[in-house]
Amino acid sequence: MARVTGTAPRRNGEVSFWWSSIGRDAPRESLRGSLDADVVIVGGGYTGLWTAYYLAEADPSLRVVVLESRFAGFGASGRNGGWLTSAIAGSRSRYAAAHGRQAVVDLQREMIHTVDEVLARLAAEGVDADAVKGGVLSVARNRAQWERTVAAHAEETAWGDPDATLLDRDASLARIAIADTRGALFSPHTARINPVKLVRGLAAAAERRGVVLLEDSEVVSVAPGRVRTAAGAVEAPVVLRCTEGFTAALPGLRRSWLPMNSSLLVTEPLGPELWEEIGWDGCETLGDMAHAYMYAQRTADGRIALGGRGVPYRYGSRTDADGDTPPLTIRQLHTVLTSMFPMLRDVGIDHVWSGVLGVPRDWCAQMNFDPTTGLGHAGGYVGHGVATANLAGRTLRDLVLGRDTSITTLPHVNWAGRNWEPEPLRWLGVQAMYAAYRTADRRESRSGSGTSVIARIADKVSGRH
């Protein structure tokens, strides 16, 4: 095949590089007719599968059914950037205002533990997800970003990550050679994973514990005691909705979590000379301190997978089909890649794809259960869902089983969010927010000044901080 360079990717969409490089499993059975269960879960991503897994472990006699509209790992869980991160999914100040400061410190500790819990479960279940706990490096590339890095370091240590370290320019470059590096924030509590290896292994582990996972079974209505698909229904006293970025498509939930788009590219495998130049021997997950931030990992097969916002939101909370990504987004991602790694200018892009994550109006995750109706849900992790979904699984388990544990009092439990604005305000608001972040990033890198006032206003208006 001819060598593809620049921004023309060999593959676009097809759900994700992670799926196309591994290949799909044989399809599982679909729901046909009626079924009785103790717990029915809508959505076969990390949240639904971890919840099913932990419930089946806690009480093997429970009949747990997971209904998935396409196939397990079709959503963000099979498309993400592979950061198993201890970052909390939500606003610390909002959680603290409602529950007190200590509750947020406890949440941070629990997230640090959650990264290790996932790694321990993968090991115990014999799942090789290419996990390397190399930490996270958030690099600053101009003065404003460096100022935010120093502030972020103070914030992380104050709120429960005592291991967050400020790296000067040389220490940062010694880890990863990124152009224009000023310095970085490093925390050891993040692991790189292959998202699909995680979700496939988790689905198989849940099934080994007796969970019934049905695919090609799109739920069209969710009510207390019953969910329906076009071909059947499941009756169960407990109904859990675990559909994150797809939630707005369910009846009555259009203005709930906003399906925020995120896109990734993956390079062709890099040769040893390029890796020699770049470094990245620790397999740290890599982010930056820009407002429209990027995230990346060095993959197990020697590529760089790099993601960012692209087209952030589609009118009317629509989601794409199979991750097809527009040319403008591809160009934007490629610009970020080559600006950070100029030596990759002639390296080919093998695959680009996109996915949706769930953003609540107040940017705070929810893990909710009402024992009177038996209805529950979890999600809204605003891009920090890989580890948080595991915590959600354990939390929903405890809430469903009526257990009072240290995790059922964390701030995101039974958190009440409000709805997004109706269209066209929703679309206009998100477009304006990301346009503001891009403008702020441009100004900061051109002027060498501190954090742009435009970004501060966008933060306030969007409800992000």
d(C-alpha 19, C-alpha 198), whole Å? 11
294 binds ligand FAD (CB under 6 A): no
Residue 245 DSSP one-character state? G
90 binds ligand FAD (CB under 6 A): no
Q: What is the DSSP string of 165-233?
A: EEEEHHHHHHHB--TT--EEEEES-EEE--HHHHHHHHHHHHHHTT-EEE-S--EEEEETTEEEETTEE
| 117, 218, 322, 362: residue in contact with ligand FAD (rule CB under 6 A) | 218
355 binds ligand FAD (CB under 6 A): yes
For helices 101-124 and 92-99, give the axis angle rounded to 10 degrees: 120
d(C-alpha 144, C-alpha 453), whole Å? 11
Strand order in the sheet with 136-140: 11-12, 349-359, 258-267, 304-308, 295-298, 285-288, 136-140, 183-187, 165-168
Size of the site for ligand FAD (CB under 6 A): 44
264 binds ligand FAD (CB under 6 A): yes
| 280, 381, 415, 420: residue in contact with ligand FAD (rule CB under 6 A) | 381
| 17, 39, 41, 45: residue in contact with ligand FAD (rule CB under 6 A) | 45
What letter represents residue 140's amino acid?
Answer: A
Scanning 28-36, 37-45, 155-163, 367-375 for contacts with ligand FAD by CB under 6 A, the matching segment is 37-45
Supply 315's token pair. 């009118």
201 binds ligand FAD (CB under 6 A): no
Nearest position to ligand FAD, beta carbon: 385
Stretch (H or E) spanning 307: strand 304-308
Question: How many helices (H) and strands (E) in the chain?
Answer: 12, 21
Handedness of CA 324, 329, 335, 340 (dihedral sign): negative
Q: Which is nearer to ligand FAD, 139 or 387 (CB)?
A: 387
| 144, 166, 357, 440: residue in contact with ligand FAD (rule CB under 6 A) | 357
Q: Which is nearer to ligand FAD, 331 or 345 (CB)?
A: 331
363 binds ligand FAD (CB under 6 A): no
Task: Give residue 63's region: left, alpha or beta (phi > 0; psi -120 to 50).
Answer: beta
Q: Which is nearer to ligand FAD, 77 or 462 (CB)?
A: 77
77 binds ligand FAD (CB under 6 A): yes
Site residues for ligand FAD, 434-463, by CB under 6 A, read none
262 binds ligand FAD (CB under 6 A): yes
Shortest distance, position 390 Cβ to ligand FAD, whole Å: 10
Contacts of 53 (CB under 8 A, 6+ apart): 202, 205, 206, 209, 211, 393
d(C-alpha 377, C-alpha 383), whole Å? 17
Scanning 385-393, 410-418, 440-448, 452-460 for contacts with ligand FAD by CB under 6 A, the matching segment is 385-393
Scanning 5-13, 26-34, 72-80, 134-142 for contacts with ligand FAD by CB under 6 A, the matching segment is 72-80
The residues that touch ligand FAD, with contacts defined as CB under 6 A, are 42-48, 67-70, 74-77, 79-83, 85, 218-219, 242-246, 250, 262, 264, 295, 307, 355-357, 379, 381, 383-387, 389
